[in-house]
Amino acid sequence: MNRILMLSTGGTLASSHSANGLAPGLHGGEILDRISGLTAGFTVVEEELFMLDSSNMQPENWSVIAAHIYERRKEYDGIVVIHGTDTLAYTASALSFALQGIEIPVVLTGSQVSIENPIADATENCRAALHMAASHCPGVYVAFNRKIIQGTRASKVRTRSFDAFESIDYPYAARINSGGLMINPMLRRRAGKCVLQNHFCTDVFLLKIFPGMSPDIFQRLKEMGIRGVYVEAFGIGGLPFEGRNLSEAIGRAVADGMVIAVGSQCLYEGSDFSVYEVGRQVLAYGVIETGNMTSEAAVTKLMWTLGQYEDPKKVRRVMSTNLLGEMGNTINWNE
């Protein structure tokens, strides 16, 4: 019988109506009681870490979750984390980097509707999470709407639909259908010796480029003490250098020691800054191209890398390395 640890952190799944609107109010034990019909074949132990709307989830909370998982991982066959959906993809990515080599499955899930609601998606998502946690496929995953997504490739793409999350440019780790939990035969099982690396630097900024943006923004960010910036550029990869020369401003920032990673504003298919002149110019200044990495993965990886290393050159090398499938692979196993 698989031993599963369920960590609750709040979110919509755990929410109840209050005078100020929906807010987390159901404790972990109450959630476990409500899904008791799903736990046959498992021994599920519940622990409550937080009672947070995920909009209030912070990097300091990621560190606590990662440390708790690291400390308890050898006692269980898998771990389920109940989490709000709004920042779930950020947490999944952050835990992936903080717990590289984790020996067991760690599965994050939540819901679009409170588990108190009879039409909630919460029960089905918890079912998927429990079974993936018992799969003996090591790694960090997101379970939602009968899909299992690798933690570094998940993104919330819908605000109301039960089909809220997608695996961006990457095959699902598993799917649930009439045959049960169907593990993708291409799934890379990355178990190793897990070393906890749960420090995240918050001196990071996410910048979405738009026509007319002032290049002075990079000097202002430097004055604020920002060490790293993730830039969402246009299309396949473009930053303006005429009229308002953002490329040159980025070059000065890089020369001053700021780490700047660039990707595309487009959700799918990623960037290739070698195609157009407007992309090649910025590459020449020493930025890191993130390809088809999600914004959630790019931001959390930048925070994590800056949290581990002081040397900008080392940070750039690690940011450019595909650690956990966060960049590359566009195979579509989803259809």
> How do residues 225-246 score in pLDDT, each as one tens digit?
999 999 999 999 888 888 899 9
What pLDDT does 148 receive?
Answer: 98
Cα(329)–Cα(188) distance, integer angstroms: 12
Q: Are 271 and 237 in contact (CB under 8 A)?
A: yes
pLDDT at 135 over 80: yes
Cα(142)–Cα(93) distance, integer angstroms: 10
Confidence of residue 82 (pLDDT cuts 50, 70, 90): very high
Cα(175)–Cα(157) distance, integer angstroms: 18
Poorest-pLDDT segment among 10-14, 48-52, 142-146, 273-277: 273-277
What pLDDT does 5 receive?
Answer: 98
Of the ranges 32-41, 65-74, 187-196, which is most confident?
65-74
Confidence of residue 334 (pLDDT cuts 50, 70, 90): very low
Q: Which residues of 163-178 are buried (b: 16+ CB within 10 A; e: fewer)?
A: ebbbbbbbbbbbbbee
What pLDDT does 207 receive?
Answer: 97
What's the mean pLDDT in 263-282? 86
Judge if pTM exceeds 0.85: yes
pLDDT at 65 over 90: yes
DSSP assignments along 230-267, one per residue = EEEEBTTTB---SSS-HHHHHHHHHHTT-EEEEEESSS
What pLDDT does 281 receive?
Answer: 82
Confidence of residue 330 (pLDDT cuts 50, 70, 90): low
What's the mean pLDDT in 74-83? 98
pLDDT at 333 over 60: no
What pLDDT does 18 receive?
Answer: 83
What pLDDT does 277 receive?
Answer: 74
Q: Are 205 and 226 in contact (CB under 8 A)?
A: yes
pLDDT at 332 over 50: no
Cα(261)–Cα(253) distance, integer angstroms: 12
Cα(200)–Cα(305) distance, integer angstroms: 8
Confidence of residue 94 (pLDDT cuts 50, 70, 90): very high
Confidence of residue 322 (pLDDT cuts 50, 70, 90): very high
CA atoms within 13 A on the CB side of 215: 15
What pLDDT does 283 receive?
Answer: 86
pLDDT one-digit tens code per residue, 189-229: 666 789 999 999 999 999 999 999 999 999 999 999 999 99
Give the residue numbers marked as catalytic.
12
Confidence of residue 331 (pLDDT cuts 50, 70, 90): very low
Residue for token pair 């830039």:
231
What's the mean pLDDT in 61-72? 98
* Percent over 70 (pLDDT), the chain: 97
Cα(237)–Cα(107) distance, integer angstroms: 33
pLDDT at 329 over 70: no
Eight-class DSSP state of 176? E
What's the mean pLDDT in 311-324? 94
CA distances from 201 to 28, 159, 221, 227 (A): 30, 28, 15, 9
Tell whether the torsion through CA atoms of 259, 320, 192 and 4 is positive or negative: positive
What pLDDT does 282 receive?
Answer: 84
Nearest to 197 by CA among 322, 73, 45, 95: 95
